[in-house]
Amino acid sequence: MRVHAIETGRVQVKRSQLVGRGHGFARRLAPLLDAEWSDWLPTYAYAVEHREGVILVDSGASAGLMRLPRWHPYFRFAVRFAVEPEQEAAPQLAALGIGRKDVRRVVLTHMHIDHDGGLSGFPDSEVLAAPGELRTASGLAGRLRGYLPERWPKGFDPKPLALEGRPYGPFARSRRLTADGTIVAVATPGHTADHLSVIVDDGDAALFLAGDASYDEAAMLAGIVDGVAPDEGAAAATLAAIRAFAASRPTIYLPAHDPDAARRLKERQTATAASSPAQAGEGGAERRMG
Ligand SMILES: [Zn+2]
């Protein structure tokens, strides 16, 4: 099974979004007020070549994100994109010889705008999203929460990817995405309430396609909760579950915005969770910020 990391342009957010500052409402407000931008970060979508067809995990960012609604404070003050049309997922996959009809399914880890942005490039694919995530992202309430439902492709009707109560390692709910069980969606709530991740078992290692469960591997290892997760406790528990999983078997950890993810995938570098017990979130944050 081959997995491709597709970089769909770059994004900047505030430092206090990468590493949450404070708690509760103050933490959620910080990214709007923070003057300090992050580095430009990649936005990865991951394409998994499986004999049942290609599964694309997240459709990435789109060039349309260069123009965001100005009425929304998050879009106005807290995020910037740099995405060219040829950087969208569909043309990049085509360049790899993967046509849009080869992509059987697009699985969305969540529906933030840089994860469902390239959907219009896959009109023939079945799109799967968690039912709770779809509810959160829809309608006026979704728009107020910073989703862009008005930009979903015409007739957009994702299939509900309801995770079953069947645990997969430390993850309480899961669902197979292929008949052979080598690709599985697991519940990783935190960054959004219904966020999911996709685990690809390629025989030698588990490729953990983490979406925004954490922004990078260091944050996962250190248990750093971001500045936008609605439920800090759920986010921290998910990061602990990922560490437990990575301690139980060789795991290549691949979040959407980790500048080092493509290199780790290429070099098959596994997470060293077992030897890096979670430092207190504060300490980890200081080192990252230092
Ligand atoms: Zn997100």
Mind listing the pLDDT tens digit for each residue in 27-74? 999 999 999 999 999 999 999 999 999 999 999 999 999 999 999 999
Distances from the Cα of 131 to the Cα of 76, 159, 162, 195, 211, angstroms: 28, 8, 6, 10, 17
| pLDDT at site 106 | 98
Residues 6+ apart with CB under 8 A from 137: 111, 145, 147, 149
pTM above 0.85, yes or no: yes
Output the pLDDT for position 283. Answer: 39
Cα of 200 from ligand 1 centre, angstroms:
21
CA of 110 to the centre of ligand 1 (A): 7
Q: Which residues pair with 45 in a beta bridge?
A: 6
Q: Would you say residue 188 has pLDDT above 80?
A: yes
CA of 183 relative to ligand 1 center, distance in Å: 22
Considering the chain, what is the average pLDDT of its residues? 93
Separation of alpha carbons 210 and 88, rounded Å: 19
Sorting pLDDT into bands at 50, 70 and 90, what band is 239?
very high
Given a cut of 70, whether residue 289 has pLDDT beyond it is: no
C-alpha span between 161 and 185 (Å, rounded) = 9
- Tell me how far the alpha carbon of residue 264 lies from the centroid of ligand 1, in angstroms: 21
Say which residues have a Cβ less than 8 Å from residue 64's Cβ, sequence separation at least 6: 117, 151
Question: What pLDDT score does 165 carry?
Answer: 86
Cα 191 to averaged position of ligand 1 atoms, centre (Å): 7
For the chain, helix (H) and strand (E) counts, in that order, are: 10, 12
| SS3 state of residue 10 | strand
Mean pLDDT over 200-219 rounds to: 97
pLDDT of residue 114 exceeding 90: yes
Q: Which domains does the chain have, with CATH numbers?
A: 2-279 (3.60.15.10)
Distance in angstroms (rounded) separating the CA atoms of residues 225 and 21: 9
**Per-residue pLDDT for 275 more than 50?**
no
Ligand 1 is a single-atom ion; what residues have CB below 5 A from it? 112, 212
Laid out side by side, the sheet with 41-50 consists of 79-82, 2-13, 41-50, 53-57, 103-107, 126-129, 159-160
- Could you give the CA distance from residue 208 to residue 168 in angstroms, rounded to a whole number? 13
Q: Considering only CA atoms, give the Rg of the chain.
A: 17
Going by pLDDT thresholds of 50, 70 and 90, the confidence category of residue 272 is: confident
Q: Residue 280 — very low, low, confident or very high, per pLDDT cuts 50/70/90?
A: very low
Instruction: Evaluate if residue 160 carries a pLDDT over 80.
Output: yes
Which tokens hold the place of 86? 């040829």
Angle, CA of 19, 21 and 25, to the nearest 5°? 120
Which residue in the block uniquely carries the two structure tokens 């965001």?
68
Instruction: Give distance in angstroms: CA of 79 to centre of ligand 1.
Output: 12
pLDDT digits (tens, 9 = 90+) for 57-67: 999 999 999 99
**Which one, of 254, 135, 277, 263, lies nearest residue 200 by Cα?**
254
Kindly tell me if the per-residue pLDDT of 83 is higher than 90: yes
- pLDDT for 285 equals 39
